[in-house]
Structure 1
Amino acid sequence: MVWTWRYQAADGALITPTGGVEEFSSQGDAESWIGEEWKRLLEDGVERVVLLEDEQEIYPMSLRES
């Protein structure tokens, strides 16, 4: 299994952030990484991410604090 994030702009358009798309061997690794990188991703124009296990959507998440 490969875990990745899909990156989206505010209008839903897909974005490839600076540095490309990371792949992770576990959900925990993916979630830890997003916890460290979310501010940089916002600077790249990413507003929302979707966690994927292989190609299956697991959950969406806004990068904006509510």
Structure 2
Amino acid sequence: MSLPTDGFGAWRWVLHAEDGSDVRVDGYDDTFASQSDAESWIGEVYPDLLDHGVVAGTLVEGDREAYRMSLEA
């Protein structure tokens, strides 16, 4: 799904490795129409992301960081 990135409206996750660096995982770079959709998605796929070395994510709307969260227990 492709959404405009005019600063607002497009939600996405920036994924992070244990060392704090950003991680790109093929197939896990979706954008979302709402914060709720983005949060539901990460709730479904976080076990797979952990398997790819992702330990945290930052939810971003356009160019604004909403919050960062750990994917680990």
Q: State the identity as a percent.
A: 43
Structure 2: give runs of 5+ residues left out of the alignment: 1-8
Rounded to whole Å, the distance in 2 between the matches of 1:25 and 1:7 is 18
Q: Which runs of 4+ in 1 moved over 3 A?
A: none
Structure-to-structure mapping, 1:1-66, within 5 angstroms: 1-65=9-73
- Equivalent-residue separation in structure 1 for 2:28 and 2:45 (angstroms): 13
**RMSD of the TM alignment (CA)?**
0.8
Q: Secondary structure in 2 aligned to 1:51?
A: strand
What displacement does 1:28 show?
Answer: 0.3
User: Please, what TM-score do these two structures have when normalized by structure 1?
Assistant: 0.94
Tell me, in whole angstroms, the C-alpha distance in 2 between the residues paired with 1:19 and 1:12. Answer: 21
Larger-Rg structure: 2
* Runs of 5+ unmatched residues, structure 1: none
> How many equivalent pairs are there?
65
Distance between the aligned counterparts of 1:34 and 1:20, measured in 2? 10
